[in-house]
Structure 1
Amino acid sequence: MVLLTQRQQEILHAIMTATNGIGSHDLEKLTNISRRTLYRELADLKFFLQNQGLSLENKHRHYQITGDPTSLTQLQAQLQSTTKPTITSSQRHNAIGAILLQRDEPLKIASIALELQISEGSVQRTLDEVEKQLANYELTLIRKKGYGIQVQGDESQKRLLLCGILLSEINEYTFMKYLDSNQTTSDNFFLSLLDKNLLLLCRHALKPILDSVALNSDQQMIQLIILFSLAISCGGRGHHLKAQPADNHVLAYQAKVAEIVKTLPAKYQANITFQDIIFLAQQIQATDYIPLQFSLDRDQSFTITVQVQSFIREVSERFGRDFQNSPSFLRRLTKHIFNISQKNIQQLPNANIETLTALETDYPKLFSAIQFAWQKHFGQIQLSQPEFQLLLLYFANEFQRLNQNSLSALVICENGISASAMLISQLEKEFGEFKKITPLRVSNLATTNLDEYDIILSTLKLPGFKHEYLLVSPLITRQERQMIRSALAELQPQKKAEITPIVQHTAFELLAKETNFFDRAKDLLALTSLSQLNNQDLDLKASIALISQQIPTLITTQVDEIGQALFKRSQLAPIALPNSRIALLHTSNPHIRHCYFSIFDLKEPLTMITMDQESTQVSRFLLMLGPTDMDENQSKLMSLISSNIILNQDNLRLFEQGNLHEIQDNLAQRFIEYSQKIIKDHQS
């Protein structure tokens, strides 16, 4: 029997419980999905119902299920059953990826669909997403007609990706409870892919080393157990790691791994090669996190600084923007790369970190330049995909800084010096983007090269003036400030996601689309709040649990589950933002009905590790929640919020220290700028 996703079950339940059927508009509202997504789900359900001897019919614009009464009763019983595990549509690509990574032979789409109990169409639609995920690890998805589907690439990358998928889908509590129970199989699909006896054996064998290394979380302990079990199972199937140079930094850990291997049964010892021992030693060292101070002797300082300078020069040349002139940027990047090279810090895990992944989409050319330059200048150091994305964050922040203080403004005033001096003073105080502000009398307009200026401001109307200009007063009103901010935002290099021309919409469709976007934005900002959190004597887990209890019921009623998901995400990788005292709590979940953003000020700061592995005192949490399957407008709202926070130092300070009104106003302005850009692109 086909295993339905939670959303498909909700759709079927809604249709079956409606006396006279249910319309598509009501189904969209109920499931919080777009019309296109609804039709796709209905097409899959129609095929599913046919196999059950039932029909999905559209009578008078209302969907109904008809057929044999016995089959209808059986379907009703299946929907009411709570014992069968379900998978969400967002889990499909991870499930398919995990299956492909574990199999030795090519698989047919039909066999994958049968194993996951989903339709073949769902598998086909998900393969492109799987292929992109594999490409991040330099793995290739081979698709040949008559041959099947298979993953090819480096064995170590396969194991790291598989481990990352499993970690992202298995709750720590579920994992440990399963190992301590009498169950022979798990209801969790991803946990069921692993041999329980092998997991128990590895946990027991690893106990001495787990007691001797400084682990940050249970997630890291589970990671080591899974990687050891994969070494045994993959080696037993003849999948061995390729030879790699000796790593003197992990000799002590190699000795510990060798001792562990000796405690295994002989049949398992034979599966683990010397290359496995090096690989596992590197993973243990990466989890043995003891914060170290950044200190270099003279020779080390010279060598690493020269390498980093060459790396920055290479990125600058390939990207076409000079990053070489900031000593502070060089110092920060050198510190981070030195700690990576000396293995003083733990690399970010091989898992999807939404905040960083969005950067890769926004800055594809810069990301490509960083990857190329790294392979050229630090090719001996292998980085995880999130670690490359973290390097991108360094460069993207510097890129944003370079775009500030680089604009020139022309100020045209009717009575010359006095009004212009007042206006220039206000501009210098309010806007840090201007490197040069030039006052000009109207009488000198004809002899001035206006193309030299990025923006023109005037205190008087200029009928017939051929250049664009902004009409402002010498003291600059609040409305005029917003107008100038919007103009400056358009002058900054636009992100790829914001400059794609929308040619597929008519003007009417675009109006409807943008109206929906503004409605969602308005609803999000209306629910945004700034609360004081009394977290005195509470640790991170308890603080997050307290925050989850304050989520409005309009957003979700499953606050405990959301709290657990938020804490799990915080353990997967650092959530504190570099150079700040804020942390970004975020998750998506099928029980979340609408996008949600709010701020929580902590009564007692928490010591946390930032994304760039620095220690900081977090005094404010930013909470972002979204449904598992967000539509285009919901995804864009969340993307605009996160990028607005992390890619602009001024905004970072605002979100760190600002009040509720200032933050709401900032986000509203950002949403308006985005929508104006979309409409402008359509008109052009």
Structure 2
Amino acid sequence: MYVSARERKLLERLLVGGREITVGELAEELNVSTRTIHRDLQGLESVLRHYGLELEKKAGVGIRLVGEEKQKQALAAELLHLSHREYTPEERQLMILIALLEAGEPVKLVSLANDLNVTVATVSLDLDKLEQTLKAYGLSLIRKRGYGVELAGSESAKRRLISELLFRHVNEHEFLELMKETIQKRSDDPLDTVAEKLLGLVDRKKLAIIEKQIEQVKEKLPFTMADSSYIAFVVHLALAIERIKRGEAIHFDPHDLRTLQAAKEFAIAEMLAESLERAFGINIPKEEIGYMTMHLMGAKWRSRQGMMMEEPSLVVGMKAQQLIRFVSRELGVDLSTDRTLYEDLVVHLKPALYRLEHGMGVANPLLDQIRKDYPELFAVVANGTKQLFGYIPVPEEEIGYLVLHFAAALMREKKGWRALVICSSGLGTAKILATRLKRAIPDITVMEQASVFELKKKDLRAYDLVISTVPLPEEYGPHVIVSPMLTEEEARAIRQRLERKTAVEKRRENESIARRNRSMLATMKAVRRISETIIHLLDGFLLEMVTCRSIHELLMNACRRLERNGVLVDAKVVIEELERRESLGGLGVPGTKLALYHARSFSVLRPSLTMYRLDEPQTVAGMDGEPMEVNTVVLLLGPADADEEMLSVLSQVSTLLVKDEQSTATLARGGENEVYSLVSSHLEQFFDHYWTTTKE
């Protein structure tokens, strides 16, 4: 059997699609005209008949491949092992890139041409196109007559390129199966497909061992990593271990390493490094632990709980509020009260800014679709990021993810059915899919989003529907596969599935009520803890005019008073913790006259909020690293073992400092009654929001 590269891509697309697809969609995906698609489909009919398959065509709906699943699998297997395989130009360029990454030394153009069944001139043109791609990674090509071609650049840049190539061209299900060691392919079997070639760049057995070591420290991570970041981290570790075994050194700036050692992620990276050292019998240097820390700090997360008490998050929170206000003004829609949007942006921006500042980059396979679906919103967010983050160029890939958060906020609707959404690209993509589902199917509820890697911890029986952007293993049962942008055909398929579930709706509803009854006591306890925290903060609140020679003297006096009032056990211990936090970074809020000193300590018995207005301004380091004058010190304290509910209240107080210009002005200049009214009103809104969402 012979088929062209385009015909092969067309067959592969029809084989993976369970729904109808229009000729126009196929033409757009393959970048050809609809006439070409019609001609190719006509030419493929004899191939399909040979396998007992046919095309089912529905006017106004589209086409799909019909036939026995066994026959479809046979055709798919044949496509994988075609003799004289022909690649598309994009696949051919990727194969060349993989060959260069594998070789690590000059490769002859004639050798590449023979492997790909093309001319040397074609390979040379492909290399011209690759050079621009490589430039974005800090890599280049060395090309000399009689020498061949070689990939030049740092080891870390090559690792980042391999990680992103894997993420873009190998779906998460394939990667998950790989790490479970269920891909039954001998090491001496030829690797024909692009995905197989990419997977060949990393040692399969190493991946499985590494995943086991990560599992052991997962509970120490502050949040669950998105699939894309998880895959990048696993691949990074596999490549790092290979490099360490070869005795290759890696450079890391000593000053940057000292800075990273103060981060909580460094301790987690050290723990993981010790585990990997035992597993592989190697010594992992501090420099490599530094790179592991950067991966953890730059990872995209799938949760937002507990981030707001960290100093860097407050800086990011201010930027998030500014971006929300900018987009609201441009669109004429007030999004400033959307807590979910604000918290999601902080969770996304914190690692995103770290990635950008350290040149780590991020892949966004949905970028073209996002630009197409939200052109106006994309332009507004791009303009906003340029104004707010002018000191750091924000690439379109990051802007695309930010657009998803804003699009999700603009499309929130009421809830209905219980559904679990499996999305591999992180929190933003999961949010946009969830809100599109609720818009297309008003009765659906997206109770939770998860990644493929989290599925084994989920009880799927608790959901009416499981919707995934990637194929799931059979062990997880029935699920609907959709694209992240959710087409109308996919929405229709979901509606039909929900209609079939109508007969058991009452039973499901009763089970849901029973679950809610069992959890009611836990919910009420959580509400009580939140209300108690708010009461402690408001009962103990004071705004005092003080005369002092230094911030240190102010903190000493303030903590001693709190000790006398029974809020603290040992003022000295708390002061040491406050000074330690200050040593990690400035505490002044840029653009204001406020400084937030906060700490959690076992010497703190109950949460406390007090404020001190200085008779003379004091100079402190701002959160942006620049010196600034402050006239008001906000002292926010909590117990070291504070539960999630208490932390959520404390975080709300900290966000008040960056909420808007009017709030910061009141905090910096208002009287005690005025400030108390602002704080109590803000906490009341938070409590109302929490109570409303727990009832839903």
State the TM bucket, normalised to the shorter chain: 0.3 to 0.5
TM (norm. structure 1) is 0.42
TM (norm. structure 2) is 0.41
